[in-house]
A and B are shown apart, each in its own frame.
Chain A
Amino acid sequence: ETGVTQTPRHLVMGMTNKKSLKCEQHLGHNAMYWYKQSAKKPLELMFVYSLEERVENNSVPSRFSPECPNSSHLFLHLHTLQPEDSALYLCASSQFPRGPREKLFFGSGTQLSVL
């Protein structure tokens, strides 16, 4: 496989469920990101990991918990979500986390619906 792979592609969960989103990158990159994409809104950065260390957390509610066990894998653990958390969750990677020349490589996303 090449690029950035996200699973599952679709997820429906109740507000009391616990689920996890998975992301894997096959590009040898050192930085990984979680973004949230809601209808009619710009992409919102949630978390940034550089070499498995979290370097940015954009005031995301604690019901979202990221985990980066190594530079190729990223998880987003979800619990007690709200209906307004329904959105497309995108994982991305880049060679380095900062710098003006860093383009992001995105996965296809997980479409999350919270009932």
Chain B
Amino acid sequence: EDQVTQSPEALRLQEGESSSLNCSYTVSGLRGLFWYRQDPGKGPEFLFTLYSAGEEKEKERLKATLTKKESFLHITAPKPEDSATYLCAVQVGGSEKLVFGKGTKLTVNP
């Protein structure tokens, strides 16, 4: 069964305190791995897509990396406006469906 597990469930950081979120997956035939950000009361907003092990993408304070079994979302010197729930999703070959994780709720305190 295709599975996506995100950890931790929740993370509290002080402003400027760098950390990483994890997304591990067990799927048959990875086509792509997606990161989304979701603010309270809103729908998810696309951040990155990664396709192959070793690939990295960056956007402002965020950097996503991919290995054969997991992806990390590194947050460097976070600010309070980075507070959100970060969702990971994997696109599975064959059915092309997206399998989402439960998300990591990030809170950055000033």
Q: Which residues of A contact B97 (CB under 8 A)?
A: 45, 56
Closest chain-A Cβ to B44's Cβ sits at a distance in Å of 5
- Which residue of B43, B46, B99, B102 is within 8 Å of A108 (Cβ)? B43
Instruction: State how many residues of chain B have any CB contact under 8 Å with chain A.
Output: 23
Q: Would B98 and A103 count as touching, CB distance under 8 A? A: no
| Residue A75 at the chain B interface, CB threshold 8 Å | no
Nearest-CB residue, chain B, relative to A97: B96
Interface centre among A43, A92, A97 (most CB of B within 10 A): A43
B interface secondary structure, majority: strand
Q: In the bound complex, what is the Cα–Cα distance between A79 and B43 (angstroms)?
A: 24
Chain A proximity mask over B30-45: 1 for CB below 8 Å, otherwise 0: 0110100000011111
Nearest-CB residue, chain B, relative to A10: B41
Chain B proximity mask over A94-110: 1 for CB below 8 Å, otherwise 0: 00011111111111110
Instruction: State how many residues of chain A have any CB contact under 8 Å with chain B.
Output: 23
| Residue A74 at the chain B interface, CB threshold 8 Å | no
Closest chain-B Cβ to A89's Cβ sits at a distance in Å of 10
Q: Would you list 18 pairs from A and B whose C-beta atoms are within 8 A, ordered by A residue?
A: A42-B4, A42-B100, A43-B44, A43-B89, A45-B97, A91-B43, A97-B96, A98-B96, A100-B31, A100-B32, A100-B96, A102-B91, A104-B46, A104-B98, A106-B45, A107-B43, A108-B41, A108-B42
Q: What is A's interface to B at a CB cutoff of 8 Å?
A: 4, 40-43, 45, 56, 90-92, 97-109
